[in-house]
Structure 1
Amino acid sequence: MAKPSRLAVKVRRKDKKNVSEGVIFIYSTFNNTLVTVADRQGNTLAWSSSGVLGFKGSRKSTPFAAQSALSDAVTKAKEHGLRKVEVRVSGPGPGREAALRALTSLELDVTKVLDTTPLPHNGCKPPKRRRV
């Protein structure tokens, strides 16, 4: 079968948005930490996670992996001109505090820090305790 010609393939390039204000979403689970940087309307500018950076298994859930994920996502977002951010932290994982501490060293103006972790009003029964 013949290969399609190079001229027929359309290349879609990412357009660089110039955004000065944004929101950083930090979602920390017991197994991983996900960081998403979006503009005020919710359009994603950059994202990163511990697993994307090469951490595997139990090392994904470490505070250092969360710190690395945050700095990676913010450096990608700074290419769009990000300066002022609001931070929303969600989840019970060990990467929450480390990611917030890493944020102070990244020369961003933090306007607000919100904890959006969903708390049950005595909802589902939690999983049983591990016996090791």
Structure 2
Amino acid sequence: MRPWILMSVLLVALASTAQAAPKPRLKGEARLAKILEGRTAGPPLDCVDLRSVETVEIIDRTAILYRMPGGRLYVNRPEAGAADLKWDSTLTSRTVGARLCRYDTMIASRFGGASFLLLGPFAPYGKVAP
């Protein structure tokens, strides 16, 4: 096979496997605002019951989102260390009992290092009644 034919076949193969450019990820504050659309904030709480948490989501460099039964959300904006939060961080904490509270510390670890977080108050968000 001639070299130019082989090169043409390779270029066609590469072009056919190319995908559309991925959608850009929203920055932390914009992403959090989109998640909280249609919700109202309640008075901040000092603690949440970990047994009630369904999922935990990290909002890059911004907050930790706790999803609870019934669609209620709790947003924690760490008082220290939020700038090191990444979507692929693994969060670990040491708690006394089953509650996670303001001023508790967590470790956000990911490939290449870890950082400490100092939790802030938990802001509850509920859905707006129609």
Q: Structure 2 length normalisation: TM-score?
A: 0.26
Q: Based on CA coordinates, which of the two structures has the bigger radius of gyration?
A: 2
Q: Structure 1 length normalisation: TM-score?
A: 0.26
Q: Which has the higher strand share?
A: 2
